[in-house]
Structure 1
Amino acid sequence: MFNMEFIEIYFLIFLLLILVITKLLNRTRCKQMNLPPSPPTLPILGHLHLLKEPFNRSLFALSQKHGPIFSLRLGSHLAVVASSLSVVEECLTKNDVVFANRPYFWVGKYIGYDYTTVGSSPYGDHWRNLRRICKLEIFSANRLNSSSSIRRDEIKNLLRKLYYSLSDDNFVKVELTPLLSKLAFNVTMRMIAGKQHKPKAAKLHDLLQELLKLGVSPNVGDFFPFLQWADFFGYKKKVVKLTREIDGLLQGLVDEHRRNKDGFEEEDTVISHLLRLQESEARYYTDEIIKGIVQDMLLGGINTEFITLEWSMSHLLNNLNTLQKSKSEIDFHISHGRLLDETDLPRLDYVQNVISETLRLTPAVPLLIPHVSSDRCNVLGYNIPKGTILLVNVWAIHRDPKVWDEATSFKPERFENGRIKGCKTMPFGLGRRGCPGMDLGQRIVGLALGSLIQCFEWKRVSSKKIDMAEGKGLNLQKAKRLEAFCKARNTAKELLS
């Protein structure tokens, strides 16, 4: 009989041989196909074991070893990771049409109304129609101007709530994270459905947050098609249950708008506007299309706006000179006796630079939603096969020392006088799949941030700087909630009391 020690040694040698053979085969395949360089792989798994949260940092670490473009084998899928500006320009400008598709992952099927929403649908006539609806009917300048009173009202509600929680002439500690999160949701929800739906909104907000957490969880069937029948950890079951509940609430909003047509026409909500379009083109503007657009607005907008506001305030509290400079600019341009308005934002260059620098250093979405190639193409001399997933590490590109001076420092001044041109920053994506709600997000963040600076004095809760550690997940949320000392300025006392 074999001694157990010999069996263990033989087993280890066997494993080592498999790893060596796999590595050699991987190198040979990459050379033969002229694929971008790749780390050593494991049998079956490929490189899945290398993807650890936060994904933007683990992919950045790999790019430091293998270059600004490298390939990964994710189960049965080939993926290419872009970590430099030159690579992204090749992919999303020169080869934009080729990479205009989305991979058929389970998220698109169960959350994206079976791949029919603007975020999940494949590139083609249906997606182009959805994109046209978003750009012309929802996020056009005229539509956004007509809804400016909603954003002004909700931000004023936040300012008043904050003001009445303070004591006279004393700094009080406030927790900003839940206030900013609720603001982003309330603004978006009122634009979509009007102010008459606050009871339903709270439940919908909780369900969407739960869905976001589950939606970024890995599904084994996405990487190993032969396991699609399995529901490991019960993810699909939970997501299907959540999406049914959310769909029921959204359908309720649509039906209520249909029943109370005159009431909602006055508010001119997104749903009432889409229902008017449904009357003239019922075959296309179905309830499912309307619900898909609404859900995309809620999922895509709320967290990015709130996260950007949270990071912006954190950066300002860690850079008090920048905060003071922002305050001085607002005081100079905004006359006494009135609150900041959206029409003032174009004049507040430095505040806009603060937001741009926040989006550069801490983009709310550090990895763009995955693209997939619909045909073969060439990127910087490498052959990219059809069906290759493209992962764009925006976080890494925004911190590239070859592009940015003092790349990891917070310096809004770098954006002065339009010095940053082209696509050096891409927090909202690039090309055909760029975020259609970019202008709305910038209006909400600009008005909210400027108003908080205009009405209140801010300082850190201790001599130590705000902890800027990043949380886990696909959104770049702070690991710790944001707290700060706050005191009302004379402006707030005059306008909010």
Structure 2
Amino acid sequence: MEVTFGLSLLCLLLAIGLKLLRQPKKNLPPGPPGLPIIGHLHLLKNPIHRRFHKLSQKYGPVMSLRFGSRFVVVVSTPEAVEECFSKNDVVLANRPPFLNGKYLNYNFTTLASAGYGDHWRNLRRLSSIEIFSATRLKSFLDIRKDEVMHLVSRLHHVSKDGFAKVELRSLFLDETFNVIMRMMAGKRYFGENVDGAEEAAQFKQHMQDYTALTKVTNLGDLFPLLGFIDIGGLRKKMIDLSEKFDLFLQRIIDEHRSDKTRNSMVSHLLQLQETQPEYYSDAIIKGLILVITL
């Protein structure tokens, strides 16, 4: 059985390679020679940004690479970046339909995964006006002040008996995430005095799992014809996490739906849901929480 599967996989890879070799040449930017099937994947070594810089010194500020069957253009100068994201931003606005966008971003409906179009523009408008507007942010000024006082109190507690060494990175991260979560959902999940130790631990675990899965490259993203192969159970892990995280975020929405006195962005989005329920669905609200917190 294993020998048969191996031969089938080899034949499939050879077919992909022949198909790529037969594709007509395009007017692409210069780039290093690639290998059959894998393209330039063998050139990717950490740190990636330094590797790209070294390649750009040889092939220019705009170069083309191929990761499997995916063609990639790498730009490495401010002028080239401005050309791409100012003058040609609409042309380059879309992103590939990767597996994590389907399972971890509500089937490509979040601001971070949706294709450029009416839905993406509506999400951007909603975020700009209803979430990040000066008026909305000003209404949460007390939250930011309170979290600063929490930070000062923790520093005072550590140094009350004299000078002490403090690891500020973790403290600043706790403060930042608490500000975001209190603005979004009225919850403290980091540091001391959290809103439920079990709930806070669950949220932090979901965040760690989400970040870990988004860092893993899915074979089907690079070789779409091999998308049916679930290497390492990656698809199953994404489905399991998406179901757990969805239930967690749904509980937050249900809590705000039953207690309308809370001052949070979720409460405000639920008010909008009452006027336009067909657009401000629970999935859209959960997607906004997901993108902003992660």
Say which SS state the counterpart of residue 237 (structure 2) adopts. Answer: helix
- C-alpha distance in 1, partners of 2:172/2:223? 39
> 1:185-206: per-residue Cα shift (whole Å, max 9, x none)?
1111111111477222332122
How far did 1:164 drift?
1.0
Provide the residue aligned with 1:270 in structure 2: 265
Is 1:286 the counterpart of 2:278 in the alignment? no
**Alignment of structure 1 residues 183-198 onto 2, 5 Å:** 183-195=175-187, 198=195
Provide the residue aligned with 1:132 in structure 2: 125
Provide the residue aligned with 2:221 in structure 1: 222
**Alignment of structure 1 residues 318-333 onto 2, 5 Å:** none
> 1:456-483: per-residue Cα shift (whole Å, max 9, x none)?
xxxxxxxxxxxxxxxxxxxxxxxxxxxx
How far did 1:148 drift?
1.3
Q: Which moved more, 1:269-278 or 1:156-165?
A: 156-165
Provide the residue aligned with 1:160 in structure 2: 153
Which structure 1 segments of 5+ residues have no match? 1-21, 300-497
**Alignment of structure 1 residues 366-385 onto 2, 5 Å:** none
Indicate if the aligned counterparts of 1:118 and 1:293 stay in contact, CA closer than 8 A: yes
**Alignment of structure 1 residues 199-278 onto 2, 5 Å:** 199=196, 200-262=199-261, 264=262, 268-278=263-273
- C-alpha distance in 1, partners of 2:100/2:206? 16
- One-letter code aligned to 1:190: R
TM-score by structure 1 length?
Answer: 0.52
Provide the residue aligned with 2:87 in structure 1: 94
Say which SS state the counterpart of residue 104 (structure 1) adopts. Answer: coil
How far did 1:86 drift?
1.3
Indicate if the aligned counterparts of 1:215 and 1:239 stay in contact, CA closer than 8 A: no
Larger radius of gyration: 1
Provide the residue aligned with 1:81 in structure 2: 74
How far did 1:163 drift?
0.9
Indicate if the aligned counterparts of 2:181 and 2:188 stay in contact, CA closer than 8 A: no
Say which SS state the counterpart of residue 160 (structure 1) adopts. Answer: helix
Say which SS state the counterpart of residue 112 (structure 2) adopts. Answer: coil
TM-score by structure 2 length?
Answer: 0.86
- C-alpha distance in 2, partners of 1:144/1:48? 43
Provide the residue aligned with 1:68 in structure 2: 61
> 1:270-318: per-residue Cα shift (whole Å, max 9, x none)?
100000000000000000000000100111xxxxxxxxxxxxxxxxxxx
Provide the residue aligned with 2:4 in structure 1: none
- One-letter code aligned to 2:176: A
Provide the residue aligned with 1:151 in structure 2: 144
> 1:311-331: per-residue Cα shift (whole Å, max 9, x none)?
xxxxxxxxxxxxxxxxxxxxx
- C-alpha distance in 2, partners of 1:182/1:191? 14
How far did 1:239 drift?
1.9
Provide the residue aligned with 2:27 in structure 1: 34
How far did 1:120 drift?
0.6
> 1:76-96: per-residue Cα shift (whole Å, max 9, x none)?
111100111111111111111
- C-alpha distance in 2, partners of 1:147/1:167? 30
The sequence identity of aligned pairs, in percent, is 49
Indicate if the aligned counterparts of 1:189 and 1:201 stay in contact, CA closer than 8 A: no
How far did 1:234 drift?
1.8
Provide the residue aligned with 2:42 in structure 1: 49
- C-alpha distance in 2, partners of 1:271/1:75? 41
TM-aligned CA distance change 1:88 to 1:71, over 3 Å: same
Indicate if the aligned counterparts of 1:119 and 1:296 stay in contact, CA closer than 8 A: yes
- Bigger relative contact order (CA 8 A; separation at least 6): 1
Provide the residue aligned with 1:393 in structure 2: none
Provide the residue aligned with 2:170 in structure 1: 178
Is 1:114 the counterpart of 2:113 in the alignment? no
- C-alpha distance in 2, partners of 1:240/1:54? 30
Which structure 2 segments of 5+ residues have no match? 1-17, 190-194
- One-letter code aligned to 1:243: S
> 1:134-153: per-residue Cα shift (whole Å, max 9, x none)?
00000001001111111111
- C-alpha distance in 2, partners of 1:195/1:214? 25
Indicate if the aligned counterparts of 1:185 and 1:205 stay in contact, CA closer than 8 A: no
Indicate if the aligned counterparts of 2:219 and 2:226 stay in contact, CA closer than 8 A: yes
Q: RMSD value over aligned CA atoms?
A: 1.9
> 1:216-261: per-residue Cα shift (whole Å, max 9, x none)?
1111100101110111122222222112111111000001111112
- C-alpha distance in 2, partners of 1:184/1:203? 18
Say which SS state the counterpart of residue 65 (structure 2) adopts. Answer: strand
Aligned length: 268
Indicate if the aligned counterparts of 2:29 and 2:62 stay in contact, CA closer than 8 A: yes
Provide the residue aligned with 1:59 in structure 2: 52
How far did 1:33 drift?
2.6
